A and B are shown apart, each in its own frame.
Chain A
Amino acid sequence: MESSLLIWLMAVPLATTGAIVFAPERMAKVLATFGSMVGVLLGLIAAGRFDWADGAAYQFTSSFPLIESLGINLSFGVDSIALWLVLLTQLLQPLCVIGSFSAITERVRTYYAWLMALQAAMIGVFVARDLLFFYISFEFTLVPMYVLISLYGSTNRRKAATKFFLYTFTGSMIALAGLVYVVWFTAQTTGEWTFAIETLEQQARTMGRSQQAWVLLAMLAGFAVKVPIFPLHTWLPLAHTEAPTAGSVILAGVLLKLGTYAIWRFVLPFVPAAVNEYAPIIAGVCIVGILYGGLVCWVQRDVKKLVAYSSVAHLGFCMLGMFALNNVGAAGSVLYMINHGLSTGALFFCIGFMYERYHTRSLDEVGGLASKMPVWSFFMGFFTMASVGLPGLNGFVSEIMCLMGAFQSGAADIGAGGTTGPLGPWYAAIAGTGMIVAAMYLLFMVGKIVFGPLREPAGHHEHDVLPTDLNAREIGVLSVLAAGCIVLGVYPRMVIHNIEAPIEQTLSVVSMAASGDDPASTLATTGGPVLLAGRDAE
């Protein structure tokens, strides 16, 4: 059972898709809800069976040879970081399904079928231990999302969907080129074709400086589009604005994390020397993204676009923490992936629920809803505060850890609390101004849409389907996310504690490359339990 758990995680949503396709239209909702709930159950079983004490090692592993002559296998397995992201996906899925009940009234079957297929693809990315399967899943996520946007989006949906597809697809092709080069390189050195990520990882590190730099560039081209890192972000506001609510939630919650996860999984351990060399530039670009994205948010008139742009700023923090190349920064970065999924996903839900009532997202047309929709306003304010990084809620923990990591990185000569690394205090201090900008744009948003005198679109009339304020279903969806925000804000150690081992393992590779040790010597240490000795004994 254990070894097939990950396959079940993918098979259940796919089976649900199949069932939805063949079942009558009215059953689609029910089947999708059921399928995604089973997914939650499976996720919980996985979390329960997972040996958290050995989080650095791949678990639930299974492998099936596909084309043996080319070394193509289907291998699955998760370490604790991947498992957390799987859990995030499993948690968001039923919320997206349930949150769509009233928004999607036409072509219901197609909608839920693709939504469930999307889940399978996302899980595939996180559980893949084989490059080919990773890449197939990574690319396959585009298809359901394309359909969801182009069929169920707003007025400009065609353009948005096409742009989303072509932009990220083009990027991924370049990334594929980089990855294929690594495969070829490995085949050259070992004489055997393989797509196993662990083997490729060890061989890729032995590449020379310029090779590493080119591979870094190629991989970043693909993955940075997905994150998105400034200036490769322009597909995002469009796609977010046009996507249906659940599409935006998945997009912000999980799809963007595919990019950050891929950078963590491939870029850092594959080309550690190049990462060390170019980390200051990447971090610099992230900081520009934080400030630029934040300021652009501030002048948006479309509330959904505002939140979309805020992702550019937020993921700037996430990548800054990752490229600090120390434990605190990396843990903050991984935590950021989860936290951003919860709080920004929830903001998209809030906006979606508002949109269903007013059919506008313009801050000029609608505002001051606190008196009309107090419960909605409470949640909107709550998730804004999670997003702005209020201590006690989840956003703060990851943000302060990313900044702390950037501050420590390279500050070893300042004090013993610093680490060796490519960044330094200035990076954190300048990126920290992003916290002020975040307060500016998010409070601007809340000040317009929640507070102030009540403004409703001209010609707006009470409709019959939905009550004025949120209904129990919508409150339920938002409450789950709010609970997540509180739990991860109050007890983030739950995650931090369990992702330390894999982080340490990956970073030890990176720091060895920085100190100029023979890359081959890292072969002996990666993947072994030796490095776990540093973990605390709790």
Chain B
Amino acid sequence: MTELLANLVPVLAQEVSAHGDGGGPAWIASVPLLALFASVLCLGALFLGVKSKLPAWIVVVSLGISFIVTLTGFLAWQGTADDSGHLHAQLIQIYEWIGMANAGSGGEAFSGFFGFYMDGLSWLWMLFVTGLATLIALYASEYMEHDVGKGYARFFAAFALFVFSMACLVMGDNLLLLYLGWEGVGLCSYLLIGYFYKKPSAVAAAKKAFIVNRIGDLGLAVGLFLTFVTFETIQYDELFASVGSGVMANGQAYSGTWQSWLIPICLMIGAFGKSAQFPLYVWLPDAMEGPTPVSALIHAATMVTAGVYLIARMMPLFLADETHLALTIVAWTGAFTALLAATIGMAQFDIKRIMAYSTVSQLGYMFAGLGVLTSAGAAFHVFTHAFFKALLFLACGAVMHGFAGQLDLRKLSGLLSMKGWGIVSLTMLVGCLNLAGVPLITSGYFSKDMILAEAFVTPNEVIAGSSWIGWILLFTAGLTAYYTFRVFFRVFVGPEHFEPGDDHHGDDDDHGHDHDDAHSNGHGGSHDGFHPHPPRMAINGVLLILALCSFLAIPTYFVGKHHGWVGGLIHESSAYVPSEATPWLHHADDDHTGDHAGDAHHEGDLVAGTILGQDPHKAMYFISAVVGLIGILVAARLHGPAGAWGLGLGSRTEAATSRADALLPRMGPVARWAQNKWYVDEFYNALFVRPLYVLANIFHAIDKLLVDGLVNLFGLLPRWLAQSLRPSQSGVLHGYAVGMAGGLVVVLVIVLVLLFMGGGGG
């Protein structure tokens, strides 16, 4: 038996090999395993019907340990810099997952390891993924408490499985393991969006998320195949070495081939699906059907940034295309998505939906940042956005939790002055300031600026219409500030007013109506007996920590040589855009010494762009600050309450209406279109879903009538014959069967007799 095992599973006899240039610790591999273990334990708790908060504590503790392991590993990795101060990627290969020794027919073997590749990019992602996951698990332990003994264990099992998948996605050392994580997070997203599985809308949203993501996944899969065929490897270290050398596996130059633009485009399609970019963004707003901690972790802070991660990870492939076709599409799609989602967000009344659209919009900024060649800016925006968007969602979740699922901003007002809601309101304010990009005091301001400035710096010759992208993003920044503070001014300040939602415990408790109200301490659906239910320790504590983190992200912008701490990490990763790829910046550095006139440049050299003739890096600090403030002031004027909290501009005296209502009729149908999300869902339905459904029905009919009909027709002929020859139909086959079985037995008996008499042949 042991021999069989050793034969079939040689991996057991193998040792984990850790190599590569980096010298970090191999035990970082325990991070995903820890999360997987927690998930399995929660599953066990689910089967055993544990009726306590045990699953939450299992997950919080194991994720907390994961974070500490990641942090320790990161610090150890930081200590491995070589003489020139460079940090090298570290490769930890555990075993070969899918692979063949030989592809045959002249091809090379295909191989994907279960192994991890740790460079600055992976470390950055792992740090905020494990850190935020721990905090949000803690928050969820309180948020989900009325499901203890019902969906509680299921929730945390999927939650921990998500962290496992995300870790595989981020740490994987090849595209195949990334694909595992990619679909794994998709599964967890599916399970958690559909958490309230009795609700048809939740089930539909979950299904939609999975299927739309699968469209992107196909792009990723084709990109993977094409990468392998071109480079004979899907392992990052070998792949980047090949791309760096500019030679394909067959010895020909890579540059200028059709693969050089097609591979990035395929990967880009995958990224668009996961990161909810146009045209595949439609699943994310619907994903808000899930419990709010899920929206915060998966659909705002971590999973949806996987697309940004993918493009950043594959930056060498994107840069290898000298026409920058894929990057141009990425930049324009990002900018367009940012604008589109912001316009929809402005017209929504559900505060969680507004946050969802703002996530789509901010992801658009990140993609635009990648497109205009500032991977450091994009990564920094991912980093700051992770904190403040998680904060915003969790604050909205606290409101939802306390007001029986109420999310309509027309039905809530003045939370700040209500007892017990101070921390939620103030941390919400911090989140709003960050999202609106209020100058100097917020990290969101600095990260957004990096992208905006770079859009203007990158010459239009490199990324077509780069400065236009800058203008679109700048305009969107104004809209962002407006819709963000629209929420704040309506819900958190002004006259105190609330109408509870429809649900006993908020939207999140739609299933489980079967339990009686005895323990639900006054959560009756009726307004009369309803008391808002302010959050307690876990929720408030997590909100405060996140608010603090979003401030702490500011100083990271000012350390290090390469655009802050995040920029430094990107510098030590495959996401780094080398100076050869951005010669205009190079020139700008040279110019520091002397003339700014630019006569040092050769004719036709690329020159860094400007904004209105100014250096964008400096001008943008002022311009974006002004744009953001204008947005806030407009929001104050239209939605702010009378008095100081309305900045002296507002005049709102009740929850349901505001000055903006008077503007709507004057905007004609535009406002209604925006509120109906520009009818994109309806358009997709009419263009894809319904025709496909009709086609499927046609196929079904063809299958029944034509394909099977022909078979039946064919079958009639011998049946008539048989009937005319043999009147007694029944039992014919049975008799035939018995005869045949008997024959086979006889044959086998003969064989056995021969065997024992003659000792068998061979």
Binding site for B on A (CB under 8 A): 3-4, 7, 10-11, 14, 17-18, 44, 47-48, 52-53, 61-64, 74, 117, 120-121, 124, 136, 139-140, 143-144, 146-147, 150, 162-163, 165-167, 231, 233-235, 292, 295-296, 298-300, 325-328, 331, 368, 370-371, 374-375, 385, 390-392, 396-397, 400-401, 403-404, 407-409, 411-412, 414-421, 425, 428-429, 432-433, 435-436, 439-440, 443-444, 447, 450-454, 490-494, 496-498, 500, 503-504, 507-508, 511, 534-536, 538
Given contacts A61-B762, A419-B106, contact A451 B194 (CB under 8 A): yes
- Give B3's nearest chain A residue, CB to CB: A48
Given contacts A299-B697, A425-B225, contact A325 B105 (CB under 8 A): yes
Contact call A48/B4, Cβ cutoff below 8 A: yes
Contact call A62/B761, Cβ cutoff below 8 A: yes
On chain A, the residues within 8 Å of B103 by CB distance are 326-328, 408, 417, 419
On chain A, the residues within 8 Å of B760 by CB distance are 3-4, 62
- Give A121's nearest chain B residue, CB to CB: B744
Contact call A504/B737, Cβ cutoff below 8 A: no
How many residues belonging to B are interface residues under a CB distance threshold of 8 Å? Answer: 94
Contact call B225/A496, Cβ cutoff below 8 A: no
Give B187-213 as 1s and 0s: 1 = Cβ < 8 Å from A's Cβ atoms: 100100010011010011011001100
On chain A, the residues within 8 Å of B221 by CB distance are 400, 403, 432, 435
Complex CA–CA separation, A453 to B211 (angstroms): 21
On chain B, the residues within 8 Å of A454 by CB distance are 198
B727 on interface, CB distance cutoff 8 Å: no
On chain B, the residues within 8 Å of A124 by CB distance are 744
12 contacts between A and B (CB under 8 A): A53-B7, A292-B699, A292-B703, A296-B696, A299-B696, A371-B197, A390-B183, A400-B176, A440-B211, A492-B97, A494-B8, A535-B101
Complex CA–CA separation, A24 to B760 (angstroms): 35
Contact call B511/A371, Cβ cutoff below 8 A: yes
- Give A503's nearest chain B residue, CB to CB: B104
Instruction: Tell me which residues from 28 to 67 in chain B have a Cβ below 8 Å from any Cβ of chain A.
Output: 46-47
The dominant DSSP class at the B interface is helix
On chain A, the residues within 8 Å of B184 by CB distance are 390-392
On chain B, the residues within 8 Å of A419 by CB distance are 103-107
Q: Which single member of B96, B105, B222, B699 contacts A421 (CB below 8 Å)?
A: B105
Complex CA–CA separation, A443 to B96 (angstroms): 31
User: Assuming A14-B748, A496-B98, A496-B99, what are 10 further A-B pairs, CB within 8 angstroms?
Assistant: A146-B733, A146-B737, A391-B179, A396-B180, A408-B225, A418-B107, A436-B218, A452-B200, A452-B203, A493-B96
Given contacts A296-B703, A391-B184, A500-B102, contact A63 B715 (CB under 8 A): no
Complex CA–CA separation, A165 to B751 (angstroms): 29
Contact call B204/A447, Cβ cutoff below 8 A: yes
Contact call B250/A493, Cβ cutoff below 8 A: no
On chain A, the residues within 8 Å of B750 by CB distance are 64
Q: A523 → chain B, closest Cβ, in Å?
A: 20
Contact call A163/B4, Cβ cutoff below 8 A: no
Q: Which single member of B97, B198, B692, B696 contacts A452 (CB below 8 Å)?
A: B198
Q: Which single member of A10, A231, A493 contacts B707 (CB below 8 Å)?
A: A231
Contact call B180/A327, Cβ cutoff below 8 A: no
Contact call A4/B755, Cβ cutoff below 8 A: yes
Contact call B214/A416, Cβ cutoff below 8 A: no
On chain B, the residues within 8 Å of A375 by CB distance are 47
Tell me the total A-B contact number using a CB cutoff of 8 A: 287
Contact call A435/B203, Cβ cutoff below 8 A: no
Instruction: Tell me which residues from 631 to 684 in chain B have a Cβ below 8 Å from any Cβ of chain A.
Output: none
Instruction: Tell me which residues from 703 to 753 in chain B have a Cβ below 8 Å from any Cβ of chain A.
Output: 703, 707-708, 711, 715, 718, 733-734, 736-737, 740-741, 744-745, 747-748, 750-752
Given contacts A295-B695, A391-B180, contact A163 B744 (CB under 8 A): no
Given contacts A14-B744, A436-B211, A454-B198, contact A417 B229 (CB under 8 A): yes
- Give A52's nearest chain B residue, CB to CB: B7
Q: B749 → chain A, closest Cβ, in Å?
A: 9
Contact call B110/A404, Cβ cutoff below 8 A: yes
On chain B, the residues within 8 Å of A10 by CB distance are 748
On chain A, the residues within 8 Å of B10 by CB distance are 497, 538
Instruction: Tell me which residues from 97 to 120 in chain B have a Cβ below 8 Å from any Cβ of chain A.
Output: 97-110
Complex CA–CA separation, A166 to B248 (angstroms): 54
Given contacts A299-B693, A371-B511, A415-B259, contact A44 B232 (CB under 8 A): no
On chain A, the residues within 8 Å of B194 by CB distance are 451
Contact call B232/A140, Cβ cutoff below 8 A: no
On chain A, the residues within 8 Å of B233 by CB distance are 417
- Give B741's nearest chain A residue, CB to CB: A117
Of listed A61, A143, A144, A538, residue having the most chain B CB within 10 A: A143
Complex CA–CA separation, A409 to B693 (angstroms): 33
Q: B422 → chain A, closest Cβ, in Å?
A: 39
Complex CA–CA separation, A234 to B734 (angstroms): 23
- Give B703's nearest chain A residue, CB to CB: A296
B700 on interface, CB distance cutoff 8 Å: yes
Complex CA–CA separation, A13 to B465 (angstroms): 74
Complex CA–CA separation, A407 to B222 (angstroms): 9
On chain B, the residues within 8 Å of A325 by CB distance are 105
Contact call B96/A417, Cβ cutoff below 8 A: no
Q: Which single member of B98, B105, B217, B249 contacts A507 (CB below 8 Å)?
A: B105
Q: Which single member of B97, B228, B700 contacts A299 (CB below 8 Å)?
A: B700
Given contacts A3-B760, A415-B229, contact A435 B100 (CB under 8 A): no
Q: Which single member of B102, B203, B715, B741 contacts A534 (CB below 8 Å)?
A: B102
B754 on interface, CB distance cutoff 8 Å: yes
Contact call A444/B207, Cβ cutoff below 8 A: yes
Complex CA–CA separation, A294 to B462 (angstroms): 44
On chain A, the residues within 8 Å of B26 by CB distance are none
On chain A, the residues within 8 Å of B695 by CB distance are 295
On chain B, the residues within 8 Å of A231 by CB distance are 707
Complex CA–CA separation, A454 to B513 (angstroms): 13
Given contacts A7-B751, A415-B232, A452-B198, contact A52 B8 (CB under 8 A): yes
On chain A, the residues within 8 Å of B418 by CB distance are none
B215 on interface, CB distance cutoff 8 Å: yes
Complex CA–CA separation, A10 to B222 (angstroms): 44
Contact call A328/B762, Cβ cutoff below 8 A: no
Given contacts A425-B225, A494-B8, contact A401 B98 (CB under 8 A): yes
- Give A391's nearest chain B residue, CB to CB: B180
Q: A436 → chain B, closest Cβ, in Å?
A: 5
Q: Which single member of A7, A144, A451 contacts B755 (CB below 8 Å)?
A: A7
Q: A193 → chain B, closest Cβ, in Å?
A: 19
Complex CA–CA separation, A47 to B233 (angstroms): 33
Contact call A327/B105, Cβ cutoff below 8 A: yes
On chain B, the residues within 8 Å of A491 by CB distance are 9, 11, 95, 97
Contact call A140/B740, Cβ cutoff below 8 A: yes
Of listed B105, B233, B703, B733, residue having the most chain A CB within 10 A: B105
On chain B, the residues within 8 Å of A401 by CB distance are 98, 110
On chain A, the residues within 8 Å of B259 by CB distance are 414-415
Give B504-528 as 1s and 0s: 1 = Cβ < 8 Å from A's Cβ atoms: 0000000100000000000000000
Complex CA–CA separation, A385 to B444 (angstroms): 39
Contact call B1/A428, Cβ cutoff below 8 A: no
- Give A61's nearest chain B residue, CB to CB: B762
Q: A44 → chain B, closest Cβ, in Å?
A: 7
Contact call A416/B250, Cβ cutoff below 8 A: yes
Complex CA–CA separation, A428 to B222 (angstroms): 8
Q: Which single member of A140, A235, A428 contacts B741 (CB below 8 Å)?
A: A140
Of listed B7, B11, B95, B215, residue having the most chain A CB within 10 A: B7
Given contacts A61-B762, A371-B198, A500-B100, contact A415 B248 (CB under 8 A): yes
Q: B385 → chain A, closest Cβ, in Å?
A: 27
Contact call A144/B248, Cβ cutoff below 8 A: no
Q: Which single member of B1, B207, B218 contacts A433 (CB below 8 Å)?
A: B218
Give B218-234 as 1s and 0s: 1 = Cβ < 8 Å from A's Cβ atoms: 10011001101111110
